[in-house]
Each structure stands twice: as C-alpha cells, then as structure tokens.
Amino acid sequence: MSAVKSLINEVSQKLSALETAQALYSRQLSPDFNTFDYINTDELGLSRILASLLDPKGSHAQQGSFLSLFVEYCLPTVYKENKWQGFLDNIDKTDVFLEEVTGKSNSQRRMDIYLRCQVGDESYGICIENKPYAGDQFEQLKDYAIELDNRKHKAWHLIYLSEYQDVPSEYSIKPDDLNTLTDNNQFSAVKFSDLIGWLKACQVECQNHSVSEFIAQLIKFIQKQFMGIEDMNEDNAVLDIIKKNAATIDASIKVSNTVDRMKKELMAKLKIDLLAKCKKTDYELDISYLGDGKSYERINLIIPGYDIGYICFEFQNKNFDKPCLGIKFISAEAVKTSPYTEKMKSVLNIALTDKNIWSSSLWPAGYYFQPQDWKGCSKAWLMINEGTMADKILDEMDKIFSLLKDNNLLIQ
C-alpha cells in the first residue's frame, strides 16, 4: 500500500508543478487556446477540413503529399496493392468532392468525401463516410458500395471514419457484405485517433508554417474531442512517473484495477441521487439501463401516453463515457414516420443556442452533454461525488421535455 500511496503523491506533486508552471507562463504558452474552438466542427465542418487537406489542388499548396501520406498511414493495404499503383503515381490528378450525390445507384445519398482520380481511360475512387458523432443510417454503407461499383473504377475503396465503432452496424451494411468488401480490399475502418500518425507525418512534410500550425491545432482537437486527452504535457508527465521502475508500474496497475470499481460505486450513487431528486409528475424516471458500464447505457424519461420515444441521457462509449442527451425514438421507422421529427430539431436549435444540435437514425434531436469526457477527466465524477451531477442531468432533461411539450411535439 505504501508504494501506491507514494505513486499517488508523486503524480499529485508533478501535476501541481505543471499547473504552477502553466499559470506562470500562461501568457506565453496560451495552453487552453485552440483554433478549433472557433471553427465549425460538426460532421460537415470536419469533412470540409479533411477534404481540404486531402485535396492535391487545395490551398495548403503541398500538392499530393498529404493525400499520399494518408494512403500510406491510414490505408496500408491500398498503398501496397499493385492495382492502385496508377493512382499513387498520378495522385496529383485527384479531384476531391464534398457531399457527392450517388447518382449511379439511384439512392440519391450524399458521400461525405469522394476522391476521384482519372488516369487515361482508367479511374480510381475513394469514398470516406465521416461519422464523428451521428449513428449509421439504414443501408447507407451498402448504397455507397453499390455506387462505387457502378462508377466502373479500376479500383475503389470505402472508408468508415468513426472513433466509437470498429465497424459500421448491420443497420448500415450486412456483415456478410462487409466481409466481402474487406476480403476484396475495398473497405477500411479508420478511427479519428488513427489520423494522428498521418497528421504528424504531414507536419514533417509540410513546407509552410501556417499550414503546419493548423495541422498541430487539428491534432490537439482530435486528442481532446475523440481521445480524451486534454493536456499532452500532463499525460506524458504521468506516464514518465508510472514507467520509472518496477514499483511504480506495479502500483499503477493496482490503482487502475480500482478505478472501474470506483466508477461503478459513484454511478450507483448517481442513480440514488436521480431518484431522490426527480419530483416531476409529468413523466417517469427509468434508470434500469444504467450501471454496468456497457455501451449505450442510458437514463430515460418515460412520458405517459407517448410510446414512440423518450427523453434520453445516453453514454455513447462503454465505461460511462461520451454522454449525449435529447429525444430518442424506439425505432428508425418511428423517426421517419413521425410528422414532428424535423420540428423537434428546429425547436431545440432555436432554444438551445449553446448546444450543437444533431440528429441521427434514432434521434430526432440531440446534443453532446457537458462534461463530455468522463474517461480522461475527473470533473464528472467529482460532480457525482458532490451530488450536483443528478441536478444537472435532470435539469437538462426537463428542459428538453418542456420545450417539446410546450411546442405540442409530444403527440403521436
């Protein structure tokens, strides 16, 4: 136990020293400043940023180097396959399109990012389906695969970019169809965290300081938004202490083994607090789906007489991480058939100006609950321990309920 206590003391002292240094030199370091706090980083915004970097004709003026590095780092099987050699040798000829309509399959969808390279009589195609936040749509990846095949490329590839899912859901493409694409080297699942290696390679290759700094800011954004890393200096300092010797490694494992237990105990406290503080009579609080740390665990506000949906607080990741809040329906079909789906999103957009309201196959309207990072940051757990998290969750859920009810949108 003394080794554990020593480790915790050393980490605490190191973090305290870092905080002191950052405070003293904050004007020079500006540790909390990031360009991406002032840039639209919704799905379309991120697609624009990635498309711009991948475009050999883009304003970064680095020609095809960024795209070539993307294929090398994120699509290694494509990079090594002979039938793609014509594309790699002529990568500067690639055209990049946003929201490309799937006209060849008659599905009339829009590919988030589409790359097309024409080399003589042969063409190459890459589609990137960007899923930073929203869930999959019905048969979406299946339709994109059909579209790429119908375009008669010599070689084509479909990329599923999502931090939180290793592969698209069966709702988007059947497992057998996905396995066929994978076996034919026509599909890759890429995480946002996988982009870090590519972006760092781009920094090395880049010959312009402004572009290099923009890439550095993008790396910081990805680390914070998708990896839960607020401060790399802090992260590295802790890692150095943990790896110092056998005793610190052993102590860190013992600490790690108790973290999941601590979270589950605090989650049990949150459930008790929620039930004690929920005094409303317009709805019923359902906490039966919360407690084990599985993906998509949630808290529901069940609305009497409204059985197609509920107000929902849901963790998108396992181990209680990345919560979202909004109105969720029981099925994608219910979302499609409800006459109030679009209005729900519009009402929340107007009323909740501080939120980035989105929609998906099951969610007419939702947003990412703050604090968002429950994995790498202690703020949410401290709020549970202090008893304030239940108030925050209930207040925000009640606000969603009231907005929808007052606008007569909770009607079947």
Average pLDDT over the chain reads: 86
Strand order in the sheet with 110-119: 95-101, 110-119, 122-130, 155-161, 187-190
How far out from the chain centre does Cα 368 lie?
10
What is the model's pLDDT at position 189? 94
| Domain limits, the chain | 39-179, 259-406
What is the model's pLDDT at position 326? 96
254-300 residue pLDDT tens: 656 677 888 999 999 999 999 999 988 889 999 999 988 888 899 99
Give the confidence band of 339 by pLDDT, cuts at 50, 70, 90.
Answer: very high
What is the model's pLDDT at position 25? 47
Q: What are the two backbone dihedrals, phi and then psi, of residue 284, each rounded to the nearest 5 degrees?
A: -115, 135
Considering only residues 95 and 163, tell me which one the structure prediction assigns the higher pLDDT: 95
What is the model's pLDDT at position 262? 86
205-224 residue pLDDT tens: 999 999 999 999 999 888 88
What is the model's pLDDT at position 376? 74
What is the model's pLDDT at position 205? 93
- Residue range 130-149: mean pLDDT, rounded: 88
Q: Which two three-digit tokens encode residue 408?
A: 């007569």
